[in-house]
Homo-oligomer: A and B are copies of this chain.
Amino acid sequence: LIEEIFVLKTARIITIGDELVRGEIVNSNAAFIAKELERYGIRVSAVFMLPDHYEESFSILERVFDEGEIFIFTGGLGGTQDDITRRIVSSLIRKKLVVDEQKELVLRDWYESRGRNFEEADRMQAAFPEGGRLLENRVGLAYGFYINCNGRLIFSLPGVPHEMKSMFLDEVIPILRNEGAFDPGFRTAVLTFIDLPEYILDRMIQGIVSRYPEVHYGTRASNGIVRVKFDSSSDSLLSCVREVEGQIHEYCIGQGDRPIEEVVGNMLAERKLTLSAAESCTGGLLAKRITDVPGSSSYFLGSVVSYSNEAKERVLGVERNTLMVHGAVSEETAVEMAIRAKRTFASDISLSITGIAGPGGGTEEKPVGRVYICLFAEGDKPVLTCNDFLGDREAIRIRSVNKALSMLFRYLREKK
């Protein structure tokens, strides 16, 4: 009996589209596919972004069309895009295109019911390389296709992100599983951390993971929040992640890479607590992030974006004296904003943010990046932080919101 050695598959992603190559939109399709594949132990070894130009794209692809790889194309399907992907794949694998006649009828009905001519180019939307098959599109018109050509698994998906995602999850994943492309024992896990610099966290995790030789991990910091991804084909993954979570519990908001606004949102909903906010320099971003979560209306009452001093006075009721003596960006104003917001919205908890996001407005005493954040909850003293965030206007605003949500997370955990 020969022991089977499992070789991890690698995949190459090819996104076809001038708008991507020209930088008019960023390539979120490739990022989505790479992340999904990694969950099943398939590593992406290269991403190619190529134009809507047959000869140019073909001339590159024919040189990197290596054996044993998974190739996932997005874009270049459908009438207006000249079906470049169908033609490229057909040439690469030297298989002619054939039309699925049943699907052709579906397309013809669709066009004719809308009073549009069904032309030869439209018909090609039901074509695929001989030996392959079409992939269903549950949220749009364009079919994708799949072919297994001598061990190369080739998929072609639409370029529109929500169509691509739907087809990838509903069609590509089951095929890859059937073809045995997944390492059946491969697992990943994510822990999310707050309030710790990435390099310190990395050092702490290193010390723990070094005792689990079969577990790998990587860290990724983004504006004050660090996500750590662990993977392994060994059962020890779970014990390792549990040990990390236990030892660095103080800074861990839990397993999974759910955004922190969703984590605190669930905590609020579970405990039937309501939240309100008063924001200055973040200009609505805190409320926007909280309301990104569907169902947030059950716990989030609202926010006052008091961008001007008058608004802080008139709408929130912050004392003119506080603003005059201490300034709009001060501990005192932050505390008063939180107290007033809580009263204004009659919420259980409130958050306030006031600071200098830049690029202008900084002074020696209060530089750009200085942000005061306050949490005020029923029956407790206000919790205040004074922060000096680095980065540009956008980074400072995102960091401020992440910090406010971190403070809320800590408060809710301690009050458990």
Contact = CB atoms under 8 A, between A and B. Distances in A.
A393 B293 CA distance: 9
A142 interface: no
Give the residue among A23, A292, A306, A314 with the most B Cβ atoms within 10 A: A23
A294 B360 contact: yes
B30 A23 contact: yes
A295 interface: yes
Contacts of A392: 162
Contacts of A60: 46, 64
A30 B305 CA distance: 35
Nearest to A36: B23
A33 B50 CA distance: 15
A303 interface: yes
Contacts of A18: 218
Interface in A276-326: 276-277, 279, 282-288, 290-292, 294-297, 300-308, 310-311, 314-315
B44 A46 contact: no
Given A294-B393, A304-B305, A311-B302, A24 B284 contact: no
B307 A24 contact: no
Contact of A38 (B23, B46, B57): B23
A284 to B, nearest CB: 3
A93 interface: no
A44 B17 CA distance: 12
A230 interface: no
B34 A21 contact: yes
Contacts of A43: 22
A104 to B, nearest CB: 24
Contact of A47 (B21, B302, B393): B21
Contacts of A276: 311
A141 to B, nearest CB: 15
Top 10 closest pairs, chain A to chain B, by CB: A283-B291, A284-B287, A23-B34, A284-B284, A23-B31, A302-B311, A47-B49, A284-B288, A303-B305, A23-B35
Interface of A: 18-28, 30-35, 38, 43-51, 56-57, 60, 63-64, 162, 218, 220, 276-277, 279, 282-288, 290-292, 294-297, 300-308, 310-311, 314-315, 344-346, 358-360, 392-394
